[in-house]
Amino acid sequence: MKTVVITGSARGLGYNMARFFREYNYNVVISDLKEENLVRAKEELEKTKSEGNIAYKICDVSKLIQIQELMEFALETFENVDIWINNAGVNQPQKAIWELTESEINTIIDVDLKGTIYGSKVAMEEMSKRGGGAIYNIEGYGSNDAHMLGLNMYGTSKRAVTHFTEGLAQEAEQKNTGVIVGKLSPGIMITDFTTHSLGNDLISLSDKTKKVYNILGDTPETVGKFLVDNMVKNTKNNVKINWLTNRKAFVRFLTAGFNKRDFFGK
Ligand SMILES: NC(=O)c1ccc[n+]([C@@H]2O[C@H](COP(=O)([O-])OP(=O)(O)OC[C@H]3O[C@@H](n4cnc5c(N)ncnc54)[C@H](O)[C@@H]3O)[C@@H](O)[C@H]2O)c1
């Protein structure tokens, strides 16, 4: 039986990817910051019929040692790790870069960028020893070099995640690791991430932003299913599994007049 490890998976996209991997009968290791959220997520995930098992472990991705412990836990529990997804992420407060505090800057870089680097390092060390496996990192606003007031620090991290992941895919090939590396691009999902910065503080979304999110946004269930369906069949290195393609976005704007999605309530 195959095993997937997903960071930041007590809710949102990570949780939903775990759910759909269960439909493919994978063993699933979920991990996040708080035990009570993981217990709740595990109970919910158990409702999805699967031949795979679920285990959880607390892991703060900004600490290399905790990621190493997560890998050890997954190997002790399920013997092998086939797919590792660096999903944990935080949004930033809607401020210009110079208005952010040192602690806010550090959290964004530590979780969004360094968490992905640490996770990739640990996964690659183990998978290259075994000669196989897949590592996926999550892109986000800024990955394509877009800029927006209030998203520059997050965008800096995600732009770097994209560069890093492409470099990792090249290195994996050059060193004949047998491991494949890919990017997951989830578009816009209405989750706690969209409405909260740094995991806690409410973001007040303007009517204009809500309108755009209603046109381009989707639930993490929809996106999670798409990403998992593509990951389980992917055998290629350096892929980008992209939900919100330019074409899809164009059609969404073109048909916006008929759009009934309302994520925020009137
Ligand atoms: N929501 C969107 O529109 C969107 C768009 C593009 C990319 N993304 C990316 O998708 C990923 C998942 O986002 P989401 O929308 O599901 O957000 P979410 O806030 O619903 O889930 C993120 C999870 O990460 C966890 N987390 C935060 N800090 C952590 C840490 N230090 N260690 C471990 N876990 C930590 C949170 O507790 C939470 O469970 C993130 O990488 C995000 O940047 C989101």
Ligand 1 pocket residue status of 33, Cβ below 6 Å: yes
Share of the chain residues as helix, strand and coil, in percent rounded to the nearest 5: 50, 15, 35
Ligand 1 pocket residue status of 91, Cβ below 6 Å: no
Contact 45, 30 (CB under 8 A): yes
Given this model, what pLDDT does residue 8 score? Answer: 98
Ligand 1 pocket residue status of 192, Cβ below 6 Å: yes
Given this model, what pLDDT does residue 204 score? Answer: 87
Q: Ligand 1 atom 30: the closest Cα is on which residue?
A: 60
Is 112 buried (19+), middle (13-18) or exposed (0-12) by CB count in 10 A?
A: buried
- Cα of 265 vs centre of ligand 1, distance in Å, is 23
pLDDT tens profile 178-236: 999 999 999 999 999 999 999 888 898 999 999 999 999 999 999 999 999 999 999 99
pLDDT tens profile 113-138: 999 999 999 999 999 999 999 999 99
What is the number of other CB atoms lying within 10 angstroms of the CB of residue 62? Answer: 20
**pLDDT greater than 90 at residue 95:** yes
Task: Report residue 157 as tokens.
Answer: 């991290």
The torsion defined by the Cα of 126, 15, 220 and 66, in degrees rounded to 10, comes to -50
Average pLDDT rounded to a whole number, residues 167-184: 98
Contact 190, 205 (CB under 8 A): no
Which uninterrupted H or E stretch holds 218? strand 217-218
- Cα of 44 vs centre of ligand 1, distance in Å, is 19
Spacing of C-alpha 70 from chain mean position: 16
- Cα of 87 vs centre of ligand 1, distance in Å, is 6
- Cα of 12 vs centre of ligand 1, distance in Å, is 7
Domain positions in the chain: 3-258
Given this model, what pLDDT does residue 20 score? Answer: 98
Does the model's pTM come out above 0.75?
A: yes
Alpha-helical segments (H) within 101-258: 102-108, 115-130, 152-174, 192-195, 207-216, 220-233, 246-254
Given this model, what pLDDT does residue 161 score? Answer: 98
What is the number of other CB atoms lying within 10 angstroms of the CB of residue 262? Answer: 9
**pLDDT greater than 80 at residue 260:** yes
Q: Ligand 1 atom 40: the closest Cα is on which residue?
A: 89
User: If you search the block for the tokens 């269930």, which residue do you land on?
Assistant: 221
Contact 4, 21 (CB under 8 A): yes
Contact 227, 186 (CB under 8 A): yes
- Cα of 88 vs centre of ligand 1, distance in Å, is 5
**pLDDT greater than 80 at residue 75:** yes
CA-to-CA separations, 185 to 33, 63, 78, 144, in angstroms, rounded: 23, 24, 28, 10
Mean per-residue pLDDT over the chain, rounded: 97
Task: Report residue 112 as tokens.
Answer: 């969004």
Ligand 1 pocket residue status of 220, Cβ below 6 Å: yes
Task: Report residue 130 as tokens.
Answer: 């075994």
**pLDDT greater than 80 at residue 266:** no
Query: What architecture is domain 3-258?
Result: 3-Layer(aba) Sandwich (3.40)
Handedness of CA 81, 155, 244, 260 (dihedral sign): positive
Q: Ligand 1 atom 36: the closest Cα is on which residue?
A: 8
Given this model, what pLDDT does residue 4 score? Answer: 99
- Cα of 103 vs centre of ligand 1, distance in Å, is 18
Beta bridge partners of 31: 57
Given this model, what pLDDT does residue 151 score? Answer: 95
Contact 74, 123 (CB under 8 A): no
pLDDT over 90, % of the chain: 93
pLDDT over 70, % of the chain: 100
Ligand 1 pocket residue status of 152, Cβ below 6 Å: no
Given this model, what pLDDT does residue 171 score? Answer: 98
Cα–Cα distance for residue pair 263/266, rounded to 1 Å: 9
Given this model, what pLDDT does residue 199 score? Answer: 81
Task: Report residue 121 as tokens.
Answer: 């390092």
